[in-house]
Amino acid sequence: MEDKIVVKGLNLCFDTHHVLKSIDLNIRANEILSIIGPANSGKTSFLRTLNRLNDIISTVKITGEILLDGIDIYKKDILLPWLRRKVGMVFALPVPLPRSIFENIVYGPRLNGVTSKAKLEELVEKTLKAAFLWDEVKDRLHLSGTKLSGGQQQRLCIARALALEPEVILLDEPCSGLDPLSTSRIEEALYELKKQYTIVLVTNNTKQAARVGDNVAFFLMGEMIEYGSTEQIFTVPHDKRTEDYITGRFG
Amino acid sequence: MLKPIFYEQVMKRILFIGTAITVFILFFIILYILKNGLPVVDLEFLLSSPKDFGRAGGIFPCIVGTIVLTLVAIIIATPLGVGTAIYLREYTREGRLTSIIRFGTECLAGIPSIIFGLFGFVLFVVYLGFGWSILSGGLTMTFMILPTIIRTSEEAIKSVPASYREVSLSLGATKWQTIIKVVLPSALPGIVTGIILGVARSIEETAVVIFTAGSVLRIPTSLFDSCRTMSVHFYILAREGISMENAYGTAAILIITILLINMFAYWLMHRLMAKYS
Amino acid sequence: MKYRENLIQIGLLLTALSTIAILFLIALFILHEGLPIILKVGIKGFICGSHWSPQQGHFGIFPMIIGTVWITIGALLVSLPLSLSCAIYLSEFSTTKVRAVLKPVIELLAGIPSVVYGFIGMVVLFPMVRNYFGGTGPCILSAAIILGIMILPTITSIAIDSLQAVPYSFREGSLSLGATRWQTIRMVILPAAKSGILSGIILGVGRAVGETMAVIMIAGNSVIIPGSFLDPVRTLTANIALEMNYATGDHRQALFATGIVLFIAIIILNIIANTIARRGVEK
């Protein structure tokens, strides 16, 4: 399989705080890469370098290279909205914007200039189905997104990211606040989605990584300790620290 | 051991009495004005023109004058104030520039109205040749209410969760699109509160208006006409002893208007805070 | 698209600088109009001169400075005991419910137009002052009482905020060591809230110094150096407002010069309030 994203020698600092230390990582197309590691290991910061969301923090310094389909996304003439439409993101806590379900989903497409009502409606149906939410909300698309349950909100956020028609989807601990049932719904959705998209999933939950990931990267203190297939990482980890983490000695 | 507790009881009583006096005085003022003023107020008083310099008749031209002058001030001050708040909150880090702008805003808020009056008089009435007019008055008033609008808008923008901004950006919005489509709509109640407080300030102001908009007792027909606001009318009636009765009536209208406006503003702000906390 | 975003940012920066621009414009115009007469009379002659008769070319504003100072001190004497006890009571002794109702009520009252306060002074306070103290009514005492009441809401509201900002753990810590509530207030809470309360008081002073219409209505406006608190006085603000309508030439310049003195006083007060507030935050 070809590499969708290539990360070379990535370093990231907030002021004097060195958060990511020379990360090299290839993310293949149409796979789910899970990134695991204890809190504060730099997982989320790494994820946010992929759609340049760290840029909004003015103290950030980033060196190294990230290539998306061979294009350096930190090149000067990259338009951020373009990048962020290509690389959709779902956050740890579901944040529906204070507007209706429908309006939440069409927010991105509208900004991109889609105005046709038929096209928007089609998009809403398609993405809600892909996020396994359509049946639950199809009769009340004009209900405020904030009125949904936590699990529904998170699936709405996934649908909203899908509506951008991205190529890559970043998920930042998308199930951290959810009950097991909602979690399994979302994992189901992810499994379907990888046929079309490249997915990067940050998770605190090693079991989740074992369930859904094709490959796993283990982060610790801003370094990538080990990268390998899910099977290899969870059965014969090469690094002692990886083994300690996945067997629950720390984390 | 008995002594500190006894002492505390005494202090508590004293503080309570101080509180009671404060609240009593403030209520007394309002009730006194309303008691003497409300009997004068009826539809006729509100909708008819004054006769004989205000000895008889109503205050209709003053109501019109107040509204028009306030509108001019609000229309100019709102974009300036909200724009400043957006810049301070969304486009800069806290640093030298922001602290200078904040200090400037605070100074502007503290400048006595008479200074604004002098300034507006020289700049607009004399130098730019607008004369005593609604335009001169409105422009000067703009400067007076600007700090209020900046401060409340800043608070409102600050209260919008950071996650909304991240979500919007992650969905491919530019910074400005994020501000227009997500931040401002969520901050709207707070911004409106600031505007309403500006309206209240503009209605109660007297000194500035006398110096910049004059006190002609007629319904204005253009922006270059002089006008007399309710506060000015009340001041002239009371100070020159023209008609105590109508002075009370005007004061009652003024107080009711201001209290309603302030209550509405407070309620709006409270709702915004409840929404995001 | 980047071009447009940059344009917007520059536009907003200019907007944000407008307040500074306005402040400069105000300073510039007032200085331009008022400085010549100060230079002519001399700073000392202008500020310390006790003779104000524009027709004869005497421009000394010392009586007005004294008038302003006395009225402001008087207003503080009236206001501080009331506003501070109100703030302490509402913050430390009353129930949350009472505070939730009374604080906004007191703040709402900051919105009563100053002319109304002046009017209350004329119709309610003058007869009382005449009966109990003598004189005709318009005097330092009347003005101090009315201004004291006017600045009550400002000081009270800021003081409550500062007291409420003191962490709850301070109270618990002190009470658990056996202090009574009053001891806790005096030794822990008030010191912690001091800078906030002080800057509130200074804002109140600024408001009293800058007040115009109410003062004109109740202070008497005579240009004399007062001998007692029942003497009528004229403040700096009143001086400008009373004579502006008919002043020309040097006389008009002298009024602008009065404005300069007032402007500088207010800026200094603001700097002090700002410094105190910042020091409080750093601590």
Residues B80 and B156 in one domain: yes
Cβ separation B169–A97 shorter than 8 A: no
Interface residues of C toward A, Cβ cutoff 8 Å, are 1-2
Confidence at residue A78, expressed as pLDDT on a 0 to 100 scale: 87
In CATH terms, is domain A3-246 a member of 3.60.21.10?
Answer: no
Tell me how close the Cα of A159 comes to any Cα of chain B, in angstroms. Answer: 11
Residue A168 and residue A4 in contact, taking contact as beta carbons nearer than 8 Å: yes
Distance from C-alpha of C120 to C-alpha of C124, rounded to nearest angstrom? 5
Interface contact A236, partner C, CB < 8 A: no
Distance CA C43, CA C37 (A): 9
- Contact state of B21 with C82 under an 8 Å Cβ cutoff: yes
SS3 assignment, position C220 = strand
CB-based contact, B182 to chain A, within 8 Å: yes
pLDDT along chain A (251 residues), means of 10: 87 90 92 91 92 87 91 89 92 90 94 91 93 91 90 92 93 87 88 90 90 92 92 91 85 58
Q: Which chains reach chain C with 3 or more Cβ–Cβ distances below 8 angstroms?
A: A, B
For domain C52-282, the CATH superfamily is MetI-like (1.10.3720.10)
**Pick from A51, A95, A112: which is nearest to B164 by CB?**
A95
Task: Taking each helix axis as running N to C, give the angle between helix B134-158 and helix B96-110, from 0 to 180 degrees, rounded to the nearest 10.
Answer: 130
Give the total number of structural domains in chain B.
2
Query: Residue C1: its chain A contacts at CB < 8 A?
Result: 79, 81
pLDDT in tens, C230-264: 999 999 999 999 998 888 889 999 999 999 999 99
Cα–Cα distance for residue pair A147/C262, rounded to 1 Å: 55
Residue C70: pLDDT above 80? yes
Selecting from B170, B174, B186 the residue whose C-beta is nearest the C-beta of A98 gives B186
Backbone Cα Rg of chain A: 18
Whole-number Å distance between alpha carbons of A128 and A140: 12
Chain C residue at shortest CA distance from A78: C2
Interface of C with B in 218-247 (CB under 8 A): 237, 240-241, 244
DSSP letter (8 states) at residue A8: E
What does the alpha-carbon distance between residue A18 and residue A146 come to, in Å, rounded to a whole number?
36
Best mutation target among A79, A90, A97 (most B Cβ atoms within 10 Å) is A97
Mean of the pLDDT values across residues C171-190?
Answer: 89
CA angle (A20, A25, A27) in 5-degree steps: 125
Q: What is the pLDDT of residue B273?
A: 75
In tens, the pLDDT along C213-234 reads: 999 999 989 898 888 889 999 9
The closest alpha carbon to B69, from B207, B241, B199, belongs to B199
Which of A97, A112, A157 is facing B172, going by the closest CB pair?
A112
Nearest chain B residue to C80 by CA: give it: B18
How confident is the model over A41-95, as pLDDT tens digits? 899 999 999 999 988 887 889 999 999 998 999 988 888 899 999 999 999 889 9
Contact yes or no for A198/A29 (Cβ under 8 A): yes
Residues of B in contact with C102 (CB under 8 A): 19, 23
Contact, C264 vs C283, CB < 8 A? Answer: no
Flag whether residue A51 sits within 8 Å of chain B, measured between CB atoms. yes
Q: Dump pLDDT digits (tens) for B243-275.
A: 888 999 999 999 999 999 988 888 888 887 777
Residue ranges per structural domain of chain A: 3-246
Cβ atoms of A171 and A199 closer than 8 Å: yes
**CA distance readout (Å), A199 to A4, A209, B34, C109:** 10, 12, 69, 59
**CB contact A107 to B (< 8 Å):** yes
Any B CB within 8 A of C266 CB: yes
How many residues are present in chain A? 251
**Residue B130: alpha-carbon gap to chain centroid:** 24
Secondary element (H or E) of residue B51: strand B50-51
Q: Is B97 on the interface with A (CB under 8 A)?
A: no
CA–CA dist A228, A36 (Å, integer) = 12
Assess whether B10 and B132 both reside in one domain: no
For residue A112, the chain B residues in CB contact (below 8 A) are 172
Q: What are phi and psi of A201, to 5 degrees?
A: -120, 115
Asked if B164 has any chain A CB less than 8 Å from its own CB, the reply is yes
- CATH number of the structural domain spanning residue B114: 1.10.3720.10
User: Do B22 and B87 belong together in one domain?
Assistant: no
Q: Which of B61, B81, B198 is nearest to B134 (CA)?
A: B61
* Count of A-C CB contacts under 8 Å: 3
- Which of B19, B244, B259 faces C86 most closely, judged by CB atoms? B19
Predicted confidence at residue A87, as pLDDT, reads: 93
Residue C281 pLDDT level (bands cut at 50, 70, 90): low
Which of B7, B18, B105 shows the shortest C-beta gap to C82? B18
Q: Are residues B10 and B73 in the same domain?
A: no
Here the tokens at position C98 are 């009472």
The torsion angle over the Cα atoms of residues A178, A180, A185 and A190, rounded to 10 degrees, is 80
Please, what's the b/e burial string for C210-219 (b: 16 or more CB within 10 A of its CB; e: otherwise)?
bbbbbbbbbb
**How much is the average pLDDT of B70-82?**
96
Whether A164 and chain B come into contact, CB under 8 Å, resolves to yes
In the numeric block, the tokens 């430390």 are attached to C92
pLDDT digits (tens, 9 = 90+) for B166-194: 999 999 999 999 999 999 999 998 899 89
Query: Which of C109, C174, C244 to substitute to test the interface with B, most B CBs within 10 Å?
Result: C109
Does residue C119 belong to the interface with chain B, where contact is any CB pair within 8 Å? yes
* Domain containing residue B8: 2-40
Query: Are C86 and B23 a contacting pair at CB < 8 A?
Result: yes
Q: Min CA distance, C114 vs chain A (Å)? A: 41
DSSP code per residue over A92-156: SS----SSBHHHHHHHHHHHTT---HHHHHHHHHHHHHHTT-HHHHTT-TTSBGGGS-HHHHHHH
CA–CA min distance A74, chain C (Å): 15
Is B187 part of the contact surface with chain A (CB cutoff 8 Å)? Answer: no
The verdict on B195 and B171 lying in the same domain is yes
pLDDT at C149 > cutoff 60: yes
Residue B78 to residue B72: CA distance in whole angstroms: 10
Query: Can you tell me the ipTM of this complex?
Result: 0.89
Asked if A206 contacts A230 with a C-beta cutoff of 8 angstroms, the reply is no
Give B160's pLDDT tier (boundaries 50, 70, 90): very high
Whether B127 and B248 share a structural domain: yes
CA distance B28 to B25: 5
Helices C190-210 and C62-88 pack at an angle, to 10 degrees, of: 140
